Amino acid sequence: MNISRVRRPWRIAAVALIAGTVLLSSGCGHGDKSPTWQGGGESQAADGGTGADAATPSPTPTLSTVAVVSPAAEATNVTAVTEVKYTSEDPENTTVTVTDAKGEEVEGTLDKDDKVWRPEKALAYGTKYTVTVNGTASEGKGGSTTSAFTTMAKPSKIVRVTSFLADGQTVGVGMPLIIKFSRAIPASYRDDVERRMTVTATPAQEGSWGWISPTEVHYRPKVFWKANSKVFANVRLGGLPLGSGYYGKTDLTVDVKIGRSFVMTVSNKTKQMTVKQNGKVIKTLPVSLGKASTPSSSGTMIVMEKARHTVFDTTDTDPVNGYKTPIDFAQRITWSGQFIHAAPWSEGKQGRVNVSHGCVNVSEAMGAWLFGRTMMGDPITVSGTEEKLKQGNGWTDFNVSYAQWKKLSYLK
């Protein structure tokens, strides 16, 4: 697609109408013996005319047709994210300028294939804008038109848009981008939302948005992020209609870094955890998983939060069999309460028998070792247990294939 980035100041080519040159007959050549008048006056034709028919007539320049299709001329109450659509016989040589009430040019992107100009960010509310379309071409073609429209007043019904991650944050290779909305987004508007949320990874990596709920959308790459990547998300939802008279409140950007690759895999069969850093095995350690009555989940989970010291208290939900236990080096991997953590009381069982309530038990020393090396977003995959991980029980974005993940997008 032929898309050009338009930045201020734009240079608009002047439109020139090229007049045809009048070519007078010289009376020379081709053996023409007709007399010519040497006194400088008009020669008299045999029929009493001036002989003007002997001259080549001036060609009339043909103008290419350019027009603003939308917004309509003098339209009012136009959304702040409106696109400018136009027509042109020669789009490759056509330019579009949009200026505000002060005459300042607005930054935008010109798609010459689709003949659409899109604003870089939401336009100001309650403001009049002028569109100028200039079409210039070879062979004397050219054309120009202007049109104006006024944006809507600032809406009172807004939807706040937030990012879970902060600018400058470093996360693990399994960390999804997480965007949340203060109000449920109707399904019919979600494709519009996705079109205005772009993710740029350096180096480039394929990825897709997926809707976790009506109020939350995640972005994950096809496979884990490449180590030490830079990821930039541009969420341009300010002024975007979001259903029932609601509009996006503001735009936002998120600029994060992916750290080293740190991937943990746990086999119930061997009762061992294998740790790879940047693709190389750096540690193998024994574990104890959930016993038969409280099995660990098999699937790919992500480290969501960490606590060096905490207390597991289940007595409020299970007064009879609940427990209240101090825990060191806890790393949450599901919302239902599964963690990687130190369990000195099960060290004699680790590597041999499952005795936990669903957590991944490691020794006190290995708990400290892991805790000192992991970060939010590091993945752990558990296999061979009696229970499969339920989607949504944690950041389960990588617990499905990429083909399945893309089905959660509304861009088909």
Mean pLDDT calculated for residue range 79-85: 97
Outline where 243-347 has alpha helix (H): none
Please say if 359 is a catalytic residue: yes
**Residue carrying the six token digits 């992107």:** 109
Residue/partner pairs of 396-401 with CB below 8 Å, 24 or more apart: 396/299, 396/300, 396/301, 396/302, 397/174, 397/176, 397/210, 397/218, 397/220, 397/302, 398/174, 398/220, 398/224, 398/300, 398/302, 399/299, 399/300, 399/301
Looking at 195, 228, 258, the residue that finishes a domain is: 258
Q: How far apart are the first and last CA of the chain?
A: 18
Question: Is 268 found in the same domain as 250?
Answer: no
What per-residue confidence (pLDDT) applies to 29? 39
Question: Is 386 found in the same domain as 371?
Answer: yes
- For 347-406, write each residue's pLDDT tens digit: 999 999 999 999 999 999 999 999 999 999 999 999 999 999 999 999 999 999 999 999
Average pLDDT, the chain: 87
If pLDDT is split at 50, 70 and 90, which confidence band does 65 have?
Answer: confident
Looking at 92, 119, 151, the residue that finishes a domain is: 151
Domain contains 410:
no
Question: Is 168 found in the same domain as 234?
Answer: yes
Residue 58 predicted with pLDDT over 60: no
* Lowest pLDDT segment from 155-164, 170-179, 312-321: 312-321
* pLDDT over 70 percentage in the chain: 83
What per-residue confidence (pLDDT) applies to 121? 92
What per-residue confidence (pLDDT) applies to 4? 47
Number of structural domains (the chain) is 3
- For 230-264, write each residue's pLDDT tens digit: 999 999 999 999 999 999 999 999 999 999 999 99
Please say if 309 is a catalytic residue: no
Domain contains 31:
no
pLDDT, greater one: 17 or 58: 58
Domain contains 27:
no
Domain contains 17:
no
Question: Is 210 found in the same domain as 91?
Answer: no
184: helix, strand or coil: coil
What per-residue confidence (pLDDT) applies to 64? 54
Question: Is 389 found in the same domain as 266?
Answer: yes
Domain limits for position 212: 158-258
Domain contains 54:
no
- The residue among 405, 329, 342 whose CA lies nearest residue 373 is 329
If pLDDT is split at 50, 70 and 90, which confidence band does 316 have?
Answer: confident
Domain contains 30:
no
Residue 15 predicted with pLDDT over 70: no
d(CA 238, CA 235): 9
Looking at 117, 151, 185, the residue that finishes a domain is: 151
d(CA 129, CA 125): 11
Residue 22 predicted with pLDDT over 70: no
Domain contains 391:
yes
Q: Which of 30, 218, 341, 357 is catalytic?
A: 341
What per-residue confidence (pLDDT) applies to 152? 98
If pLDDT is split at 50, 70 and 90, which confidence band does 126 have?
Answer: very high
pLDDT, greater one: 123 or 142: 123
d(CA 283, CA 273): 8
What does the longest C-alpha to C-alpha distance in the chain come to?
A: 127
Question: Is 290 found in the same domain as 248?
Answer: no
Sheet strands (E) in 214-359: 216-221, 230-235, 247-248, 252-258, 262-267, 272-277, 280-286, 297-302, 305-313, 324-332, 339-342
What per-residue confidence (pLDDT) applies to 317? 79
Domain contains 20:
no
If pLDDT is split at 50, 70 and 90, which confidence band does 268 have?
Answer: very high
Question: Is 266 found in the same domain as 252?
Answer: no
Question: Is 310 found in the same domain as 214?
Answer: no
